[in-house]
């Protein structure tokens, strides 16, 4: 299970590192300065990745939060509030409805499920075995 934890930590670090580089304008055009949510989520993911590499439980919880925020994007047709955090790699399933478009990030869903499995497994193990 430690190999899966290391792999998840590396993927989180790479994914959030790319998001941080894009949000700061190091890769491509810089995101709008008012998009503080993107910067915060990318930084959270990067710090969670570093903590996960050190086998900290807080790193796994941070990774869960990082993937949870980017799991669903909502774009209304016409006027109305939209919600979307495009931080890191996104492979989505697009669902078009009469009033809005909803995007489910399948990549974030898979990594969120894997992180949950690692946390569940850690919870089941005795403290001495960790």
Query: CB-hemisphere CA count at 13 Å for 77?
Result: 8
What was the pLDDT predicted at 95?
92
Given this model, what pLDDT does residue 23 score?
Answer: 79
Residue 53 in any domain: the answer is yes
pLDDT of the residue at 55: 87
Residue 20, burial from CB neighbour count under 10 angstroms (0-12, 13-18, 19+)? buried
Beta bridge partners of 75: 101
Q: 88 lies in a domain?
A: no
Residues spanned by the domain of 31: 2-70+109-129
pLDDT digits 0-9 by tens, 40-96: 888 999 999 999 999 888 999 999 999 998 898 888 888 888 777 776 777 889 999
Return mean pLDDT, the chain: 84
Residue 119 lies in a domain: yes
In a domain, 102, yes or no: no
Residue 18 lies in a domain: yes
Picking from 24-38, 76-90, 100-114, which range would have the lowest pLDDT averaged per residue? 24-38
* Count of domains forming the chain: 1
């Amino acid at each position: 299970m430690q190999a899966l934890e290391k792999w998840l930590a590396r993927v989180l670090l790479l994914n959030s590192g790319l998001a941080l580089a894009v949000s700061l304008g190091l890769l491509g055009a810089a995101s709008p300065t008012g998009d503080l949510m993107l910067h915060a989520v990318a930084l959270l993911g990067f710090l969670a990745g570093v903590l996960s590499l050190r086998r900290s439980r807080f790193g796994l919880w941070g990774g869960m939060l990082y993937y949870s925020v980017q799991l669903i994007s909502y774009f209304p047709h016409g006027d109305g509030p939209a919600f979307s955090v495009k931080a890191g790699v996104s492979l989505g399933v697009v669902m078009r409805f009469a009033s809005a478009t909803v995007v489910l990030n399948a990549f974030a869903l898979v990594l969120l499920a894997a992180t949950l499995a690692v946390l569940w497994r850690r919870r089941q193990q005795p403290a001495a075995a960790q």
